Amino acid sequence: MKQNVQIQRFQKNKEVIVINDDDDDEPKIFKKIKNDEDDCVMNVDIIPWMSKKTMMIRHPVLRLHNEMMEFFDYISPSDSEHKRRITAYMRVEKYLQDLAPEAQIESFDTFKTRMYLPNADIDIVMIETSCTQKQLYKKVAAQMIKQTNKFENVNLIANAKVPIIKFIDVESQYHFDLSFNQLDALKQIEELEKAFEIYPELKILLMTLKCMLRQRDLNETYSGGVGSFLLFQMILTFLREYRKDFFQNNQQDQIKNVTLGEYMIKFLEFYSDVQRKRIAGQGGNIDNKSTQDDRFSFISPQHPDHDIGHNSYKIQELFKIFQNRHDFLTNYNFKPGESVLRYLINPTDQKFSFLKPVQF
């Protein structure tokens, strides 16, 4: 079968990555290194984030540990990228502020903490308590759809539990998600920053799992997936539970020896068998649900009467993926030098580019 070949630049002017998208279950990545005569030398299975040092690690779990750190460094936004996003955000903020001078405009979720993937949306919340959520939504939507020189692809999602406006800033081409009167959104940043201090491994787990979900179209709450804040809470709950045994056995000093590879495998196992449980975000208690159904029950740490997991109706699909990947990682005979992380994150995925543009 004729292969569909996509070529993208990769870091150095004389290197390109060639991605072969054929019918193989595990598509290969080939790296061509150009010389002056335009001849090419092929190496198989090049992973953009993986160093030669990591390839030399024999134990797959330790190799996964290194890969996750390298992936985090590779995929995290650069200073220049973040500055461009801030500029775009300030432009949108000014427009919204002119539209509603009494409103409070804030960015939240992963934008302020720089924990976002390439091409991720910028989340904004607009708060004006003199209006209801619906009133504020309609007021902004009516004006924004007219501003075709400023915004494009304006998508009004009115039927969601939390109505949002999705749009693209014309000048920067960044995607935005705008929500209204969501006071809890302002509390999320403080909670994220505090958790990152206590659990330094949380950042790397979060970025890796965000990518896993995004590649599988399971990262949007409004379409039944798991949003960034719920995923953050799921990882935080797992880390608290995982550490309990160390403290109960007076082995807390050994926590520092747990690798990211171990954390990832244990996380996948933990959420392979929790669908019939009810997790309380405040305190992290896990109990059996009073009603046994297929919905995920995760009680908001801010509001005990709000289940932030209920709208993730695709959660069973996600739990099956977690179980499948856990079984694979714990049973597969990895080859020396082989990427382990590629079996969680596929670098040949056509819906998500890992290959950063060359900086000229």
Convert the pLDDT of each residue in 167-187 to its tens digit: 999 999 999 999 998 877 777
User: Does the pLDDT at position 310 exceed 80?
Assistant: no
Q: Which residue has the higher pLDDT, 196 or 282?
A: 196
Assigned domain for 59 exists: no
Share of the chain above pLDDT 70, in %: 78
The DSSP call for residue 40 is E
Task: Give yes or no for a contact between 280 and 292, defined as CB atoms under 8 angstroms apart.
Answer: no
Domain boundary among 185, 200, 229: 185
Residues 198 and 331 in one domain: yes
Residues 150 and 108 in one domain: yes
Which of 122-126, 157-161, 265-269 is predicted with the least confidence, judged by mean pLDDT? 157-161
Q: What is each CA distance from 183 to 111, 124, 161, 188, in whole angstroms?
A: 17, 12, 15, 9
Assigned domain for 70 exists: no
Assigned domain for 296 exists: yes
Domain boundary among 168, 185, 202: 185
For the question of whether the overall pTM of this predicted structure is more than 0.85, the answer is: no
Confidence of residue 251 (pLDDT cuts 50, 70, 90): confident
CATH of the domain at 255: 1.10.1410.10
Assigned domain for 357 exists: no
Residues 276 and 334 in one domain: yes
Assigned domain for 292 exists: yes
Task: Give yes or no for a contact between 123 and 108, defined as CB atoms under 8 angstroms apart.
Answer: yes
User: Does the pLDDT at position 19 exceed 70?
Assistant: no
Question: Containing domain of residue 25, as a range?
Answer: 1-46
Beta strands in the chain (DSSP E): 4-10, 12-21, 29-34, 40-44, 104-107, 122-127, 151-157, 164-169, 175-180, 277-280, 286-288, 297-299
Which of 9-18, 152-161, 302-311 is predicted with the least confidence, judged by mean pLDDT? 9-18
Mean pLDDT throughout 64-76?
Answer: 95
Residues 124 and 95 in one domain: yes
Report the chain's mean pLDDT, rounded to a whole number. Answer: 80
Count of domains observed in the chain: 3
Residues 200 and 324 in one domain: yes
Pairing of strands 297-299, 277-280: parallel
Assigned domain for 281 exists: yes
Task: Give yes or no for a contact between 229 and 237, defined as CB atoms under 8 angstroms apart.
Answer: no
